[in-house]
Amino acid sequence: MEFALISTAMFALLSGAVDLTQAITIKRDLNRVAAEAAMVLAACPNEDCFNQTMQSIMARRANIAPKLPTMQLGMARFREKNNQIEANSLGGTMTFLPADLSARALALLADGDSGVAVLATYTHQPIILGLADDWGFTTKNFRAATVTIRLRAP
């Protein structure tokens, strides 16, 4: 009887610890992917290079983050002009520059600067779905975004 009570609680704690560890790892991996993709894209001097690099990153997505097979990447190239953000190129899953990235870009860039933004998202499903389902934790959406300056105007 004691074993049944203790083992149930221990199993719940163990599964929670495993899911928490996975959540921390996923967040770290998404931040890494977003930051590294932004640095690579920021090094592109022109639109053709940006588009080719963006396609290359999308094609290698499974190799970049093998533990996140359904990760979605969105990439944008933009310029700050008269206190407005003008998105030049959008790719991946990004069809518009989200408001939080636009605000971050405005805070970071001066007039005439250009930059890139990368948004990585992933939906995680816990290992022990039955237990998580009972407690209402079926999925968790993770998001990592990076804004990087590409060119500082002279």
Cα 148 from Cα 154, distance rounded (Å): 17
Over residues 11-56, the pLDDT tens digits come to: 878 877 777 788 888 899 999 999 999 998 888 888 888 889 888 8
pLDDT at residue 154 greater than cutoff 60: no
Higher pLDDT, 28 or 62: 28
Distance CA 37, CA 31 (A): 10
Q: Tally the domains of the chain.
A: 1
Burial of 76 (0-12, 13-18, 19+ CB in 10 A): buried
pTM of the model: 0.79
> Does residue 72 surpass a pLDDT of 80?
yes
Q: What is the 3-state secondary structure (H, E, C) of 57-70?
A: HHHCHHHHCCCCCC
**Tokens 């890494």 map to which residue?**
32
Domain of residue 118, residue span: 2-151
- The predicted-structure confidence for 130-153, as pLDDT tens digits, reads as follows 555 556 566 778 889 888 887 654
